A = this chain, B = another copy of it.
Amino acid sequence: MPRRGIRSWFTVRVTTALFTIPLWLDLTAVAVGAIQGAMFAARLTERRIDLLGVALIGVIVGLGGGILRDLLLNQRPAAISDNWYLPVATAAALLGMLLLRVFTKLNGLIIALDAVTIGLFGAIGTSKALAYGVPEVPAVFVGVISAVGGSILRDVALNLPIALMHVGSLYAIAATAGTVLLVVLVSLGVNVVVAAGLCVVVTTLTRLGSVRYGWSLPEQRALGSWRVWRRA
């Protein structure tokens, strides 16, 4: 049975290999998320959001995915267990807000960093879930929630339609592709660090490809017509 095999493999490796994820790497992902979140909120000038609100959205985007991940795993959230997460997220959010002009010119860089961040959150979330004994399928789910949870909470907090459910964003698909690859590779016995690295690469490239080449899912309206699905 492959599942039991993975678990026992993990109990050995994970503590040494996986949860020595460098704190700076995790915090970097949080910071990039927070910068993005604050820039997003700061652009909504017609909303009369105050400074605190903009910072709050930044913090939500930076930390939300990880908090949802840990709630699903029934663990105390990492951001609650360590002094560093909240100040880093807050500082990054304020930075994103203050440097809005500069960063807008660096838009390409931010999109690239953001794509890497989704990959990182997905890889960390799925690996952590596997390490806590979650079966393969929900481990992918936890990874995807880690990757996109921050932006879902952002849209709920801002009372906007949730972006990732609408045509033209491949966030969740990119995270799913990467985390499925991670789980498959780990099942085949590949080292989790290698698998996580490939997960980050696949997620990042999928997301960047969707931005660069306009990849998107078919709109659900198309389903009204049966022809599309006849051969599916």
Q: Which chain A residues have a beta carbon within 8 Å of chain B's beta carbons?
A: 41-42, 45, 47-54, 56-57, 67, 71-77, 79-83, 85-87, 97-98, 100, 129, 134-138, 141-142, 152, 155-162, 164-168, 172-173, 216-221, 223-224, 229
Contacts and interface: CB of A to CB of B under 8 A. Distances in A.
A50 B217 contact: yes
29 contacts: A45-B220, A45-B221, A45-B224, A48-B166, A48-B219, A49-B167, A49-B219, A50-B168, A51-B219, A51-B220, A51-B223, A52-B164, A53-B165, A53-B220, A57-B165, A71-B71, A73-B76, A73-B80, A74-B74, A80-B134, A81-B134, A83-B135, A97-B223, A100-B224, A152-B157, A155-B159, A156-B157, A157-B162, A159-B161
Contact of A51 (B134, B136, B218): B218
A50 B81 contact: no
A163 to B, nearest CB: 10
A74 B137 CA distance: 22
B80 A49 contact: no
Contact of A165 (B81, B157, B172): B157
Contacts of A168: 50
Contacts of A83: 135-138
